[in-house]
Amino acid sequence: MNQDYEVAIVGGGHNALVAACYLAKAGKKVIVLEKNQEFGGATKSVYAFEGVGAKLSRYSYLVALLPDQIKQDLDLKFETLSRTVSSYTPSGNTGILINRNFDAESSESITAFTSSNEDSDAWERFYKRIGVVAERLAPTMLEPLKDEVEIKALIGDELWDEFVVQPLEVTLNKYFKNDLVKGIVLTDGLIGTFASAAEILSNICFHYHLVGNGTGEWRVPKGGMGKLVEALLERTKSLGVDLRAGTEVISAETTNDGVMLRLGSGEDLSARVLLSGAAPRVLERLTGIKAPNFRDGSQVKMNMVLKRLPKLKSGLDPKKAFAGTFHIDESFEQLEKAYHQAKSGVIPDVIPSEMYCHTLTDPSILSESMQAAGNHTLTLFALHTPASLFDIDHEKIKVEVFRRILAGLNKYLAEPIEDLILDDAAGKPCIEVKTPQELEAEIDLPRGNIFHSDLMWPWRTQSEQGKWGVETTNDRVFIAGAGAIRGGGVSGIAGHNAAMATLERLAKSN
């Protein structure tokens, strides 16, 4: 049978575009089919507010996991910038400031807050040790999957026990005494993952947040996350990839020599191999290939444009407080309590969240007049707000969750955030709120899960897992999105690995 394409890719998120670039570079005929009118999925930037010159990273907003190797291989014109501050965590009228490089100011801040130098010393020890894990694991991400025995040998028995075997809660309790310090560290185990610190799923999430490029540094995408999509689209076009936006794939059936796709337009299209940049649950709908069970997405994302940054009760300069990640009500106890409340079906009394200001590091996403006026953007990511909470009465719950998130933030501000939100051209406040259900409706993240599925250890944990971590039960179908092993987050890793598996499959005779 003469196929229309060698490879058809369902979904046009950044991973799909990475896969398309590698395959086209290897001379393959590729098409990418995206349901929405624009490519990019969760990496889009948009002008979200009428008449307001602020191009916001609507969904994802910071980059750590994208390997430099992918940028180099594909010659991507995409830059990321360091933040000077890693995090600020207010508490009452004081707080803890951690600079990107853990320096004397950071250490003194923990010491002053905890009235002892034990936790600041522990901080350095802890991050040095997880830093070793990151350095050793990062280079494996674009290689065939290693198995547990190999990874254990790579990172050593002690680090394996500390960060893989023992629940994060146990390791945090071993290192740290202070509840707030423990919470600051724990958040990396919870972003995008509905879990308790007592569950290994939070260890897995923690690894994804600490491993990027061997440093785990979360950097600001210059010009916004959409710049990554622009760079990838430029490359796919120059490589001759067929790109179709506004084209939903509604089913895909494998035959003896290929895959037949049915498009929303009624048109059929054939290929030798199918890649899914869409979530495994979407692939299940299209092909019947069973997706693993996964937990609800559990975050609410808010984007705001401000007249100016708010002053803080602690008196810290807002330019410093908001330059890194601003933690709100994220002590260890608060995080655990919120998790257990949400799990039992109750909206947490206090919703932990975190926030960051893109424009302090990179003002280029604002028009010149907005930069001159001192306007800023804020991005807020609230935790432990799973899709299940919103199932019964979405609009009512959304209003209540929004109210509690703002109340949490306002506790630490010297002036209410509501007074500082800019109005758009129609006089409406520049603030948008996205629940897990809304993420599913807009970009097909099942149950709003930002990683498409539960994160998995970035190595082989079961013998049936394939060579690249992208294989399915059908040897013509591969996962090229966040739902692959090593796939979660803005990384392009799943796209790269799916391309490698596909090239090997295409080299076979049929």
Ligand X SMILES: Cc1cc2nc3c(=O)[nH]c(=O)nc-3n(C[C@H](O)[C@H](O)[C@H](O)COP(=O)(O)OP(=O)(O)OC[C@H]3O[C@@H](n4cnc5c(N)ncnc54)[C@H](O)[C@@H]3O)c2cc1C
List of residues contacting ligand X (CB under 6 A): 10-16, 33-36, 41-43, 59-62, 65, 248-249, 277-278, 282, 301, 439, 443-445, 450-451, 481-482, 488-490, 494
- Nearest distance from C-beta of residue 428 to ligand X, angstroms: 21
> Beta-carbon neighbour count of residue 102 at 10 Å?
16
CA triple 305-306-310, angle to 5 deg: 140
- Nearest distance from C-beta of residue 67 to ligand X, angstroms: 12
Burial class (CB in 10 A: 0-12, 13-18, 19+), 313: middle
> What is the Cα–Cα distance from 247 to 263, expressed in whole angstroms?
7
Are 134 and 211 a contacting pair, CB within 8 Å? yes
- Nearest distance from C-beta of residue 448 to ligand X, angstroms: 7
Measured from the CB atom, the residue of 226 and 318 that comes closer to ligand X is 226
Measured from the CB atom, the residue of 83 and 109 that comes closer to ligand X is 83
Measured from the CB atom, the residue of 316 and 405 that comes closer to ligand X is 405
Measured from the CB atom, the residue of 458 and 488 that comes closer to ligand X is 488
Show the tokens assigned to 335. Answer: 């995080």
Measured from the CB atom, the residue of 235 and 301 that comes closer to ligand X is 301
Measured from the CB atom, the residue of 269 and 316 that comes closer to ligand X is 269
- Give the H or E element holding residue 494: helix 493-506
- Nearest distance from C-beta of residue 391 to ligand X, angstroms: 19
- Nearest distance from C-beta of residue 109 to ligand X, angstroms: 25
> What is the Cα–Cα distance from 159 to 133, expressed in whole angstroms?
7
Residue 504: helix, strand or coil by DSSP?
helix
Show the tokens assigned to 386. Answer: 């799973």
**Rounded to 5 degrees, what are φ and ψ at 460?**
-80, 125
DSSP 410: H
Residue type, 45: S
- Nearest distance from C-beta of residue 20 to ligand X, angstroms: 11
Measured from the CB atom, the residue of 272 and 434 that comes closer to ligand X is 434
Packing angle between helix 332-343 and helix 179-186, nearest 10 degrees?
A: 60
- Nearest distance from C-beta of residue 210 to ligand X, angstroms: 13
Are 10 and 277 a contacting pair, CB within 8 Å? yes
Residues with Cβ within 8 Å of residue 122, at least 6 apart in sequence: 175, 176, 177
The owner of tokens 């939100």 is 421
- Nearest distance from C-beta of residue 485 to ligand X, angstroms: 13
Residues with Cβ within 8 Å of residue 378, at least 6 apart in sequence: 302, 303, 304, 306, 322, 355, 356, 357
Measured from the CB atom, the residue of 107 and 213 that comes closer to ligand X is 213
The owner of tokens 């600041």 is 120
- Nearest distance from C-beta of residue 21 to ligand X, angstroms: 13
> What is the Cα–Cα distance from 51 to 91, expressed in whole angstroms?
37
Measured from the CB atom, the residue of 88 and 113 that comes closer to ligand X is 88
